[in-house]
């Protein structure tokens, strides 16, 4: 059962060939035997109680297409009854009194929660090595990183520990781990998915999205996940595009006439040959399917790294100031004053990468540096968005979607970049600009590179263009079998 897609599992559940309880038990047993460290909290009794509710809905004829399908949530979404840690010692034993909107929506659809997934602390990282609860291992090669920050999510799908998972993408944290683990993941347009109940990192960049085996599965999940939420001030209103829509509506459309923009900046120095070969082969397949390749330029791509690492840490500095040991979360045991309690609590509760970003963010927001760093980064962000606008939407638009690599290399070995954070930052060169522009982007598996580690193709679309992106990915997956490949022993 664990090798089947969400669509296939849904059909089995609706036909009563299997029950939600049987399905949940099957996945719980697999999780129990796994040594990947992908899950942080599993509660068999809670999961089976939800499965029983799903079986009752199916029996009563009130089920949705997702009722009874198991799902696991990145531990950045708060969940009632399960712990919500954000991968941090600061929230090691925190149990939220409410569900995040994303969790709430999937529960309303009747999905069954398997547990909470490991992630980089407060979603800060590119390898899932920054978790206070240990690194996640890549199912394709346990000596490799799974990518980050949604590494636990990607590893769980790749190892067939869950057919559906949630992730979040601030600068590439859905797309990059999806690429490293050989699965499919999509970051929707900023504001499409509610941030209410998502533990904040960078508020103008954080965006939740689904990860699964196939683009079709991601479309089904996005149907339940997206939509306006009045509790989230960054959620798109219906007038702005935050509407409930069917993201499967374009699946099945032919690709004849599709114009694919290929940015020269994505294929220059720094791109590994094995990754380029796999991506070029995928582009050739799209041409075979009727698409046309168009050479384009996104000239400010290189500036996305310094811009992102000014803006995101600044917002993190503000968002994480709430963790002070007073209201909830970790509090230092030893202190002699209120100020000392703050210092000791944060020194003990936050990991090295989180401290680094808080310090950078606080610095760039200081009087005298705000204009020189933060404001300038925001101006660069606008230039990056204009680059995309010119090729996708402007009067001289030349392409319908943009394609290129997700990351410059395949997954690196555990520990390789632990002492060099800048090297890890540079690995996000192809994903950061999409996030800064608020555009939808996704990753699909298109082959293997060095050490037989997966390679992902990034597909970037126009604002609100998720349905088209998902079909572009779906058509490729109908014509190839990379997405069906599983690690040895699965």
C-alpha torsion angle, residues 357, 361, 364, 366 (rounded to 10): -130
Q: What is the pTM of this model?
A: 0.97
CA separation for the pair 85, 323 (Å, rounded): 12
Joined tokens for residue 182: 């050989």
* Count of domains observed in the chain: 1
Predicted local confidence at residue 112, as pLDDT: 98
CB 192 within 8 A of CB 207: yes
CB 26 within 8 A of CB 3: no
Integer angstrom CA distances of residue 384 from 119, 439, 443, 463: 28, 11, 20, 14
Q: Are the CB atoms for 185 and 62 separated by under 8 Å? A: no
Give the C-alpha separation, 120 to 134, whole Å: 9
Residue 23: partners with Cβ closer than 8 Å, 6 or more residues away? 1, 9, 13, 51, 68, 69, 70, 112
Q: Kindly give the confidence (pLDDT) of every residue in the chain, 490 residues in length, as a single tens digit, with 9 standing for 90 and above.
A: 999 999 999 999 999 999 999 999 999 999 999 999 999 999 999 999 999 999 999 999 999 999 999 999 999 999 999 999 999 999 999 999 999 999 999 999 999 999 999 999 999 999 999 999 999 999 999 999 999 999 999 999 999 999 999 999 999 999 999 999 999 999 999 999 999 999 999 999 999 999 999 999 999 999 999 999 999 999 999 888 777 899 999 999 999 999 999 999 999 999 999 999 999 999 999 999 999 999 999 999 999 999 999 999 999 999 999 999 998 899 999 999 999 999 999 999 999 999 999 999 999 999 889 988 999 999 999 999 999 999 999 788 999 999 999 999 999 999 999 888 888 899 999 999 999 999 999 999 999 999 999 999 999 999 999 999 999 999 999 999 999 999 998 8
Distance CA 302, CA 282 (A): 24
Q: What is the pLDDT of residue 159?
A: 98
- Cα 163 from Cα 213, distance rounded (Å): 7
Catalytic residue annotation: 74, 149, 173
Distance CA 410, CA 171 (A): 18
The residues, ordered by sequence, that sit 6+ positions from 428 with a Cβ below 8 Å of its Cβ are 126, 171, 172, 176, 305, 308, 407
8 Å CB contact between 432 and 295 = no
- Tell me how far CA of residue 92 lies from CA of 82, 128, 378, in angstroms: 12, 17, 34
Measured CA distances, 333 to 60, 85, 347, 349 (Å): 52, 19, 12, 12
Give the pLDDT confidence score for residue 418 in this predicted structure: 85
Residue 167 in contact with residue 150, Cβ under 8 Å? yes
Q: Which domain holds residue 319?
A: 1-490
Q: What is the CATH number of the domain that holds 90?
A: 3.90.1300.10
């Amino acid at each position: 059962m664990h090798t089947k897609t969400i669509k296939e599992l849904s059909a089995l559940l609706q036909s009563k060939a299997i029950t939600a309880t049987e399905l949940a038990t099957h996945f719980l047993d697999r999780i129990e035997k796994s040594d990947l460290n992908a899950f942080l909290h599993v509660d068999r009794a809670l999961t089976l109680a939800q499965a029983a509710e799903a079986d009752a809905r199916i029996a009563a004829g009130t089920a949705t297409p997702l009722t009874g399908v198991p799902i696991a949530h990145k531990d950045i979404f708060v969940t009632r009854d399960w712990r919500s840690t954000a991968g941090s010692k600061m929230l090691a034993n925190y149990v939220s009194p409410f569900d995040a909107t994303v969790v709430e929506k999937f529960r309303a659809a009747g999905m069954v929660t398997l547990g909470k997934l490991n992630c980089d602390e407060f979603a800060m990282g590119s390898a899932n090595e920054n978790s206070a609860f240990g690194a996640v291992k890549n199912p394709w090669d346990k000596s490799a990183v799974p990518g980050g920050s949604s590494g636990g999510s990607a590893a769980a799908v790749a190892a067939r520990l869950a057919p559906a998972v949630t992730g979040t993408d601030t600068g590439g944290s859905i797309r990059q781990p999806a690429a490293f683990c050989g699965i499919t993941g999509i970051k929707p347009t900023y504001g499409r998915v509610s941030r209410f109940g998502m533990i904040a990192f960078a508020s103008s960049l954080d965006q939740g999205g689904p990860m699964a085996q196939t683009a079709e599965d991601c479309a089904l999940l996005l149907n339940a996940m997206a939509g306006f939420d009045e509790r989230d001030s960054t959620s798109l209103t219906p007038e702005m595009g935050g509407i409930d829509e069917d993201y499967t509506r374009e699946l099945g459309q032919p690709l004849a006439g599709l114009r694919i923009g290929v940015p020269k900046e994505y294929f220059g120095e720094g791109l590994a040959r094995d990754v380029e070969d796999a991506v070029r082969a995928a582009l050739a397949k799209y041409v075979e399917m009727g698409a046309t390749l168009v050479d384009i330029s996104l000239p400010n791509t290189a500036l996305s790294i310094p811009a992102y690492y000014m803006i995101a840490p600044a917002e993190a500095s503000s968002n994480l100031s709430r963790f002070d040991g007073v209201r909830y979360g970790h509090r230092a045991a030893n202190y002699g004053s209120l100020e000392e309690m703050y210092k000791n609590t944060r020194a003990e509760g936050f990991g090295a990468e989180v401290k680094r970003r808080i310090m950078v963010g606080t610095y760039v927001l200081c009087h005298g540096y705000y204009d020189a760093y933060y404001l300038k980064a925001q101006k660069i962000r606008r230039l990056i968005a204009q680059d995309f606008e010119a090729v996708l939407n402007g009067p001289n638009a030349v392409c319908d979607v943009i394609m290129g690599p997700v990351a410059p290399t395949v997954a690196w070995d555990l520990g390789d970049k632990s002492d060099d954070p800048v090297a890890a930052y540079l690995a996000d060169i192809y994903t950061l600009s999409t996030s800064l522009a608020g555009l939808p982007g996704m990753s699909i598996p298109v082959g293997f590179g060095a050490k037989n580690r997966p390679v992902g193709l990034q597909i970037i679309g126009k604002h609100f263009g998720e349905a088209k992106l998902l079909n572009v990915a779906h058509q490729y997956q109908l014509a190839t079998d990379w997405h069906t490949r599983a690690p040895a022993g699965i």
